[in-house]
Amino acid sequence: MNGRMISERTTVSLAAAKVRGRVGGRPTVMTPERIAVAQSMRAQKATWETIATTLRVGSASVRRALATAPTAEPERSGSPDRLFYGVARTLCQRTTSAVL
């Protein structure tokens, strides 16, 4: 078997596993609870090393987790009508750009 054939079969197998919900690789040490703690510490201007030492993980793990973690949306203020028109305007813009 040549290398190209092995590569193709590996790619197909990985894609099939992904469809089934299987993910390869080492499990992450950063649980959602640890990510929340890291985000709050970082908001208080803690250093990467301090956060990592507190959570007993590597600083690269903390950086990676915070780079990929979704951030909390800022709290919205204003009247409900103002919020509705903002959302409606956004949806109209998306619809218009999808048609073009």
Residue 50, in any domain of the structure:
yes
Number of domains forming the structure of the chain: 1
Residue 72, in any domain of the structure:
yes
Name residue, tokens 């499990």.
27
Residue 20, in any domain of the structure:
no
Q: What is the pLDDT of residues 4-59, one digit of tens each?
A: 999 999 999 998 988 898 878 888 899 999 999 999 999 999 999 999 999 999 99
| Helical ranges in the chain per DSSP H | 3-19, 32-43, 48-55, 59-68, 80-99
Instruction: Determine if the pTM surpasses 0.85.
Output: no
